[in-house]
């Protein structure tokens, strides 16, 4: 087959982006019987909905482990490799960890697709690992009709400095470090509805590492953090709110949305995964009557390789936001944690 194959046309379903997967599958994985002898060194496991698992090795050292892989989300194989790597590493950054090693996970139709495509995917991932300072330690590949690529990533963290999703406190300010709308844009790309400019913008958002955002947040009091991926902004925010036993408020106008995504959504391009997210989260959300249905969907739009969502102490949030922006991070303050305890979200 020629090298100009449209990679995204080979995808069935998109991926998610945290350590488990789409919500319906996640329920199956979480319903597993508990291990008979839970190890106390497993500080963060399956039950909390955090981005990565954390296992304590010594008093001041723990491992952070995560994996993610998916079908092609862009057509350029090099860019796909970059997106997959940035996305897989992100869960370590979301916990406040430092990624150190990675393993490639490859499924590729070696009899029907030119191997140069796989080489480009691996090169893209490798360059992104270099940028992150992560060593490639190995990997595994299988022959598969549908190409898939991702990585398992290991990081380190101090056991007392884990940024889980459960620490948000009333008064905290919520900061988001990348624009949303990625799922809508990706859906449009598959339908050939994006110009090259749109593809470039989408790709640059997804290939941006959360390294700077993560390293910056560690110098401030950030009480909870996660990265925004498959469950969308409101889905991941809902996990923080529930795990922290707080309510939150989002100012829809303050949420950064890729401009083209807004137009596409208004034209009816709403991916199925985004509607699923909306249906999963809506019982926990009160939307303002003034907020159009399209905007409600955008806030639930499934993201690949999204930004960090930080719940920052109110006394330090302005300084954190300023430093992030000065370092070139597309950070915005989008809301705050309020006094309730029910894991409820209001949006106006
Ligand atoms: Co995550
Ligand atoms: Co996921």
pLDDT in tens, 161-180: 999 999 999 999 999 999 99
pLDDT (average), residues 28-43: 82
Q: Model confidence at 23, in pLDDT bands (50, 70, 90)? A: low
CA distance from start to end of the chain:
50
Partners of 173 in the β-ladder: 312, 336
Give the pLDDT of residue 2: 44
Q: Model confidence at 36, in pLDDT bands (50, 70, 90)? A: confident
**62, pLDDT greater than 70:** yes
pLDDT (average), residues 298-327: 98
Give the pLDDT of residue 21: 56
Cα–ligand 2 centroid distance for 315 (angstroms):
32
Catalytic residue among 16, 151, 180, 255: 16
**How many C-beta atoms lie closer than 10 Å to residue 47's C-beta?**
9
- How high is the mean pLDDT of the chain? 93
Q: Is the pTM of this model over 0.95?
A: no
Cα–ligand 2 centroid distance for 82 (angstroms):
17
CB contact at 8 A, 165 and 49: yes
Partners of 310 in the β-ladder: 175, 225
Give the pLDDT of residue 60: 98
Give the pLDDT of residue 12: 65
Q: What does DSSP say about strands 98-108 and 148-157: parallel, antiparallel, or unpaired?
A: antiparallel
- Ligand closest in space to the Cα of 227: 1
* pLDDT tens sequence across 76-119: 999 999 999 999 999 999 999 999 999 999 999 999 999 999 99
Alpha-carbon torsion, ordered 208, 209, 212, 214, to 10 deg? 130
Is 16 among the residues known to form the active site? Answer: yes
- In the structure encoding, which two tokens stand for residue 296, read together? 């409600």
Q: Find the helix or strand (DSSP H, E) in which 263 lies.
A: helix 259-266
Pick 49 or 63 by higher pLDDT: 63
- In the structure encoding, which two tokens stand for residue 35, read together? 């291990």
CB contact at 8 A, 233 and 176: yes
For the chain, the helix, strand and coil percentages under 3-state DSSP, each to the nearest 5 = 40, 25, 35
- Ligand closest in space to the Cα of 49: 1
Give the pLDDT of residue 31: 76
């Amino acid at each position: 087959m020629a090298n100009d194959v449209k990679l995204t046309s080979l995808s069935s379903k998109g991926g998610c982006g945290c350590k488990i997967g789409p919500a319906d599958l996640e329920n199956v994985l979480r319903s597993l019987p508990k291990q008979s002898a839970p190890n106390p060194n497993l500080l963060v496991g399956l039950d909390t909905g955090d981005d990565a698992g954390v296992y304590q090795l010594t008093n001041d050292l723990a491992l952070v482990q995560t994996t993610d892989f998916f079908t092609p989300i862009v057509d350029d194989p090099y860019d796909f490799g970059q997106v997959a790597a940035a996305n897989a590493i992100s869960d370590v950054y979301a916990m406040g960890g430092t990624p150190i090693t990675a393993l490639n996970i490859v499924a590729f139709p070696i009899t029907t697709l030119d191997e140069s495509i796989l080489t480009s995917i691996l090169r893209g991932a490798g360059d992104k690992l270099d940028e992150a300072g992560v060593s490639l330690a190995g990997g595994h590949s299988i022959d598969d009709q549908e190409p898939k690529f991702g990585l398992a990533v290991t990081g380190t963290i101090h056991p007392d400095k884990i940024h889980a999703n459960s620490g948000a406190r009333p008064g905290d300010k919520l900061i988001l470090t990348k624009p949303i709308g990625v799922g809508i844009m990706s859906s449009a790309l598959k339908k050939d509805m994006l110009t090259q400019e749109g593809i470039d913008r989408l790709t640059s958002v997804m290939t941006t590492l959360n390294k700077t955002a993560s390293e910056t947040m560690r110098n401030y009091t950030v009480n909870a953090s996660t990265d925004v991926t498959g469950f969308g902004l409101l889905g991941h925010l809902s996990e923080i709110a529930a795990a922290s036993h707080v309510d939150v408020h989002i100012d829809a106008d303050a949420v950064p949305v890729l401009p083209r995504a807004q137009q596409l959504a208004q034209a009816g391009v709403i991916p199925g995964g985004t509607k699923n997210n909306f249906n999963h989260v809506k019982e926990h959300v009160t939307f303002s009557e003034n907020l159009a249905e399209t905007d409600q969907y955008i806030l639930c739009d499934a993201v690949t390789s999204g930004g960090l969502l930080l719940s920052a102490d109110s006394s330090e949030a302005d300084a954190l936001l300023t430093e992030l922006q000065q370092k070139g991070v597309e950070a915005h303050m989008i809301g705050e944690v309020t006094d309730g305890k029910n894991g409820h979200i209001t949006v106006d």
